């Protein structure tokens, strides 16, 4: 597992777990970052990341992206 922030644009991965406190986990869950969901990175260079979750595009900072642990293999959806 690696943090979401470590992926490059164009890469996809599966969310395996959210780390951090209750507040951070709650914010990420409300945005749609849940275990088992497939994510795609659209932009990850300067500034915040642009991440695709299903049909949605979400912008999150690098700090929050480091709390989302992903794996590039084994994603069903």
Q: How do residues 45-73 score in pLDDT, each as one tens digit?
A: 778 999 999 889 999 999 999 999 999 87
In the block, tokens 């991965």 appear at 13
Q: How many angstroms separate the first and last alpha carbons of the chain? A: 18
Q: What share of the chain in percent tops pLDDT 90?
A: 66
Q: What share of the chain in percent tops pLDDT 70?
A: 95
Give the confidence band of 3 by pLDDT, cuts at 50, 70, 90.
Answer: very high
| Residue 47 confidence (pLDDT) | 81
- Give this prediction's pTM: 0.85
> Structural domains in the chain?
2-71 (2.30.30.90)
Q: Taking 90 as the threshold, does the pLDDT of residue 42 lie above it?
A: yes
């Amino acid at each position: 597992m690696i943090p979401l922030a470590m992926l490059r644009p164009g890469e996809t991965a599966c969310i395996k777990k959210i780390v951090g406190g209750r507040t951070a986990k709650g914010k990420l869950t409300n945005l749609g970052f849940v275990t088992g969901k497939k994510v795609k990175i659209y932009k990850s260079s300067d500034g915040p990341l642009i991440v695709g979750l299903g049909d949605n595009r979400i912008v999150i900072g690098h700090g929050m992206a480091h709390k989302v642990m992903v794996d590039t293999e084994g994603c069903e959806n």
